[in-house]
Amino acid sequence: MFKGRNFDPSVILLCVQWYLAYGLSLRNLEEMMAERGISVDHATIHRWVVRYAPELLKRFHARKRAVTGKWHVDETYIKVSGRWMYLYRAVDSNGDTVEFWFSEQRNLTADKRFLRQALKRHGRPERIVIDGSQTNREAILSCDAESRLQDRSRSRLTALRRSPDPEMNLGSSRPLLVT
């Protein structure tokens, strides 16, 4: 992963981690590394973030603990950086966050987008518990119908063997198909 880099992998990971976790500017990170005796340019740190952040995210999701089959889905209105946003959140029965998403609007489109993302990343749960929101109910039913249609269209059709008895083929000249 770090082949051909001039810096130690621990320095690269530390810079990427601090940039992503704490929202520090690239120039602040450059100063912090200089205080620790490491001379690195802010443009180099930016290249590290662009190169390694997606890879680290992939590895994080691969090692993430599996979620349970019962999710509690809810949305709330909170202030983020001075702007009011809707926080969509799914929590499993152990209290671990399954997925979260911010949206400026609370509507069916936003709810569907959140659910599609959660279902794509974690699969279909056995049960979803929601509050009285009709939008959540419609989004769940819609996403469930879409996923069932996609699953059905992905399954291959395989030909069955024709029976040697002509009466069993019911006069059809085409092979029977099973979905």
| Boundaries of every domain in the chain | 9-63, 70-154
Look at 178 and 69; give whichever has higher pLDDT: 69
| φ/ψ (deg, to 5) at 81 | 50, 40
Q: pTM of this prediction?
A: 0.53
Strand order in the sheet with 97-103: 97-103, 83-92, 70-80, 127-130
What are the pLDDT digits (tens) for 7-31?
888 999 999 989 988 888 999 999 9
What are the pLDDT digits (tens) for 62-76?
777 778 889 898 899
Residue 164 has pLDDT above 70, yes or no: no
What are the pLDDT digits (tens) for 46-61?
999 999 988 888 887 7
Residues in a beta bridge with 129: 72
pLDDT band at residue 139 under the 50/70/90 scheme: confident
CA nearest neighbour of 88 among 49, 114, 108: 114
Structural tokens at position 15: 């810079």
Q: What is the third-level CATH fold of 70-154?
A: Nucleotidyltransferase; domain 5 (3.30.420)
